[in-house]
Structures are given as structure tokens and as C-alpha cells.
Structure 1
Amino acid sequence: MARITAGVGCSHVPLLGVAHDQGKDRDAYFAPIFEGFDWTREWEKQEKPDVVILVYNDHASAFDMKIIPTFAIGCGESYKPADEGWGPRPVPDVPGHPDLAWHVAQSLILDEFDMTIINEMEVDHGLTVPLTMMFGDVAEWPVKVIPLAVNVVTYPPPSGNRCWALGEAIARAVASFPEDLNVQVWGTGGMSHQLQGPRAGLINKEWDNDFLDGLVGDTDRLRRVPHIEYLRETGSEGIEMVMWLIMRGALGKRTTAIHRHYHVPCSNTAIGHIVLRPDNGESLDTRGGSAASDAPLTA
């Protein structure tokens, strides 16, 4: 059967895509950011995931005020990079996995989640930047991708509890798929940042790192953090972090962190990144993955 072997949390700041595309990722400003993903790129080469369920938010590329799905799952064959105003990113088209995507969609809907099914859409930096951070320059992406778009742009976004529960339902869906697949779930967006108004540039390092701490172990306290706390402590765009809770919910009761990276600043945001294993008491070293002792945690 298919199995979820890891979860990845990752900021998706558009500037990182620009820096990479212009060959500036090892410049003095960007090097400390990208170096935090070097470990993960090597790890992904060992892991060789078949499919990534990539949780992200669209930035008015595929959706606008005419239609605002709370949760939308891509079931198409492939997805082209979106033109976000300066032309599409020079990265490969994103290959989908329709068989698993339709299975997950069916399972989620029968599990009483009202999913919007998308067969054609373009994907913006919310999805392509994490792929770049994990895989670098490639002629084609080495993994199939199931996009899962979450509304965190227009009020009301889903609660942290609903996102965590969706992750749990995704885990049930993947486990019931008969094909032998190595599946990862990625939660993207955040961390603390505000792009406008008197608090533009807000970054809360203490809160961000406490959030990263809350993804590890057997605590589920993050699923009960209210929207107002995200707004107060992390800025108007910090609500993107609820998407990481879908990833965390999909990993089961307990997790172990095998890599962690946090850096300020990147543009006017904080960069967060974490790699988690589901910890069910068995060996965590699947497909050559590193044990926790191989990856010192840094924040």
C-alpha cells in the first residue's frame, strides 16, 4: 500500500525563486537561507519519494474573488507555472498523479470534507518555490505532485483544528491506496510576516520557533491556536502556517524532527523549514533516510 514516510514544512517566499532563477542563491544575503536546505536536497535524493502532496496557497493566480475554495485538490496530469506579473518562472511543468489524487479526493469527500476538485490550473510561487528549495535545478521534477490549495488569503480561512483533521484524513486516504508508493506531505507558507499597514515587516522569532517546537513529538496543541493569535503574534500573513498543520496531522500521533532551519530576514519575512518523520516506534530510517542524530537541529 502507499505510505506517508515524511513531512516537510517550508516557507515559500517568492524572492527565493527569483534569487535562484537569477543565480544569486549563494550571494552573501541569500547563502545563509539556501544553505539550510542543502541537507534536505541530499536527503531527498536518498528518499526518492514517488509523490508529494504539496499544501500551499494560491496568490490570485488560479483563483480570484470570483471563486474562493477553502480546500482544492489538483487531480490533473500536469500544471504549468503561472505568470505572476513578470512571466512564468523558468522551471519545469509540475507532473501530477491523477490516480492517487482522485483516490484521495474521493476518500476525503466521503470522509465529509468538502473538497473542490481542479483538473486544470496554473501553479504559482507557493508551489514552485518549495520544489526549487528541495530539488534545485532539474530538467524535470523528480517527483509527482498533488497540489492541495488552501484559502489563507481571504477571510475566513480554515481553523488550525480543521487543517490538522484534514491531514489525518489524508493519511487514511493514502493508506487505503493499493499501489506501493512513497508519499511525502509538505506544508508551505509563513512564517511570521506582514506585508502592509503599520506593522509591515513584523517578525516574531520567539513565536515562530515555538510553532516549530509544537510540530515535534506527541503534542497537538497547535491545532487549537485561534486565528486571532496568528494575527496578533505573526502578522496578517502568518495565518499561512495553518497549512503546516495539514502536514503535521498526516504524520500521526508522534513525530521526530530530523532537520530544522530558521533564518531572518528574507525580504520582510522569516524563513522556516523542518523535516519530520512519523514516529510509530519503528525504525525511522526508511529508504536511506537519516536518523535524527545525523541531522543537528538548528534554529
Structure 2
Amino acid sequence: MSAFLHCLSHTPLIGHLDPPQDVLDEVSGIVQAARSRIAEFAPELVVLFAPDHYNGFFYDVMPPFCLGMAAEAIGDFGSLAGTLPVPKPIAEALAESLLTSGIDIAVSYRMQVDHGFAQPLEFLLGGLDTYPVLPVFVNCVAPPLPTFERVRKLGEAVGHFTQQLDKRVLFLGSGGLSHQPPVPELAKVDARMADRLMGSGRNLPVDEREARTQRVISAAERFVEDQNSLHPLNPEWDQQFLDIVEQNNLAQLDGVTAASLSAIAGKSTHEVKAWVAAFAALSAHGPYSTTDRYYRPIPEWIAGFGSISARSQR
């Protein structure tokens, strides 16, 4: 059956610190157009590759990849909260297929996901439960990180599995592009925060959740005034990355190390690995063509904001 893809940046700052109205309207139009294309495609199954931001995955056990057999969105930063409609038999079959293919996938029957998963489901599909969804966590924040090559091979293996299904499959990639918001690093935090990163940060009390939200908003406000207060956005690298996925040259990224990517475009830029996984999955369905490429650096959201669709040609 046919396959469709859409990759979209996410940001926790939507609705908290927005760009000028004309930019907001432009992005809204891009998202609504993508939502219409997806609705026209009418997927029967969604595979969502996305990161986490120390809301569902912590250093008590930090897998490079994890497939949800069941998943719950926590509703951070005002994103949607609730249960994702994971088709458990398909998820279990996918896990078996990945392991057989040499991909060491972790599984979770109690996966918690944050805005990185919830925003694309809300913005592109209209809600968390619009279509059956297989949530695939890709560790893009907590070192040590999976390489581009391993992420690509994960995506290819997922695509080979879905190619065997008699379903219209939508691949979603969430995150990026260049950015470095104030995400805590285990090697640089005090004992209390280290304990949070190692697992006690699950289900934060309301006051801590609000304080965390305010810290990100304050950092964004400073970034708008001084774009050297955080790692600067890198539009040139972002456009080069979009060229690579558009031209299906994903293996070109295999040699890019974690340290070099962080230095070039910011430590949270590793979220583009969710895009690589999604495009690799689509490529397993055969040649693809892209449409509706969009890019704009948006300091208010601390993001090189991107959006792109693609469709298999078979």
C-alpha cells in the first residue's frame, strides 16, 4: 500500500511566547495545509518518531530507542494529555520484526510521552486518538546518543515491516531543526536535579512543572533580545539538512558525530534524528518525492522551524 510522510518541528513555547502575528499566521497556514494533505491520504496507521525531554524517559533506564505498546501523553506546556490509541498486536509484531532485523529496540507497556509526541498528533491529525499510532521514542537529548547510522537503520527496519502491511501508513517525524533550549545536562547539574534526571522527575508536582515552564519562557525571552544567550540557530545547516532528506541522501549523515552536530547547530538539534528515522522508513517503501518544504528561524520558539511532506512513488 502507499505511504505518506510529514515532518514538523515542535516547540513547548507555542502559546507561551509567540512570534509576530504574520509569522504565526504563516506557520498556522503551513500546518493546516499539511493536515489537509494527511486527511486526504486517510492513513490507516501512523508511525510517530519523536524525542522526549526528561518527561517520560530518564537515566534510571535510558534506551536509544523504545517502542510503545501503550502510551500516555502527560500534557506538559499545555499540550494535549491522554491515551494514545496504540494497536498492541501490531506494536508487538513490529518489536519482534525489529529484533529479528538486528535493531535492539526496547519496549514499554507504560510509555509516557510529552509535547514532542503530542504536538504533531494534535496539529497534524486533530487529536491524540484520531488514528491508530505506533509511538517510537528516539533518544535525542540524553547522552550517550544513538548515531545517525543507527537511527537510519531503525527507520529502514520499521519501513520494511510496514511495507508488508495492507495499510496506508503515515510516518511522522517530530522535532528540530537547529536549537538549544535550556535542557539540563547530567554532568552539569546539582544533586537534586541529577536525582530528577535519574527518575524522580516523573510526574512532577504542579509547582515544579510550572517553574520549569517559566524557566523555558524566560530563556526564550532573553534569546529574542540576545541570540547569543543560547546556542544561535543555524539556518544554513538547517537548509542543508532539508536538502539531504529531500534528495534521499540520508547515509550522508552517517559520519556526523554527536559532538560535531551539537557544536554546529545546538545540542537539541539531535531531534532531527526523528526526521531521519521517518524518511528512512518511507524510503523502504521505495523512491519518494517531497513537497511543501518550509523553513523559518523563529527565535521566540528557540527553533529553526521546519515542515515537509513526502509520498512514496509506488
TM-score > 0.5, shorter chain as reference: yes
2:144 maps to which residue? Answer: 156
Amino acid corresponding to residue 87 of structure 2 in structure 1: H
2:278 maps to which residue? Answer: 247
CA shift for structure 1 position 104: 0.8
CA shift for structure 1 position 227: 2.0
Amino acid corresponding to residue 81 of structure 1 in structure 2: A
Instruction: Give secondary structure in 2 for the equivalent of 1:108.
Output: helix
CA shift for structure 1 position 231: 1.1
1:296 maps to which residue? Answer: none
1:70-149 equivalences in 2 (<5 Å): 70-76=64-70, 79-84=71-76, 89-90=79-80, 93-136=83-126, 138=127, 141-149=129-137
2:28 maps to which residue? Answer: 34
Q: Please, what TM-score do these two structures have when normalized by structure 2? A: 0.77
Contact 2:80 2:119 in 1 (8 A): no
Amino acid corresponding to residue 262 of structure 1 in structure 2: Y
CA distance in 1, matches of 2:91, 2:50: 15
Match of 2:179 among 175, 190, 193: 193
Match of 2:44 among 43, 50, 56: 50
CA shift for structure 1 position 26: 9.7
Match of 2:59 among 56, 59, 65: 65
What are the Cα deviations for residues 22-45 of structure 1, in whole angstroms up to 9, with x where unaligned? 9x8994452222221121111111
Amino acid corresponding to residue 205 of structure 1 in structure 2: P
1:258 matched to 2:291? The reply is yes
CA distance in 2, matches of 1:199, 1:186: 31
Q: In the superposition, relative to structure 1, how do residues 223 and 173 fare at CA in structure 2: closer, same or farther (>3 Å)?
A: same
1:11 matched to 2:12? The reply is no
CA shift for structure 1 position 164: 0.7
Amino acid corresponding to residue 131 of structure 1 in structure 2: L
CA shift for structure 1 position 270: 1.4
What are the Cα deviations for residues 249-275 of structure 1, in whole angstroms up to 9, with x where unaligned? 112263211221112214221111111
Count of residues paired in the alignment: 266
CA distance in 2, matches of 1:4, 1:117: 27
- Structure 2: stretches of 5+ with no match in the other structure: 184-227
Amino acid corresponding to residue 228 of structure 1 in structure 2: A
More helix by share: 2
Instruction: Give secondary structure in 2 for the equivalent of 1:257.
Output: strand
What are the Cα deviations for residues 159-178 of structure 1, in whole angstroms up to 9, with x where unaligned? 1111111111111111234x
CA shift for structure 1 position 10: 1.2
Amino acid corresponding to residue 256 of structure 1 in structure 2: S
CA shift for structure 1 position 199: 5.8
Instruction: Give secondary structure in 1 for the equivalent of 2:181.
Output: coil
CA distance in 2, matches of 1:181, 1:109: 22
Contact 1:164 1:246 in 2 (8 A): yes
Contact 1:194 1:235 in 2 (8 A): yes
CA distance in 1, matches of 2:20, 2:302: 19
CA distance in 1, matches of 2:307, 2:106: 28
CA distance in 2, matches of 1:35, 1:73: 32
Amino acid corresponding to residue 46 of structure 2 in structure 1: V
Contact 1:223 1:245 in 2 (8 A): no
Instruction: Give secondary structure in 2 for the equivalent of 1:117.
Output: strand
CA distance in 1, matches of 2:240, 2:275: 14
1:204 matched to 2:234? The reply is yes
Contact 2:9 2:177 in 1 (8 A): yes
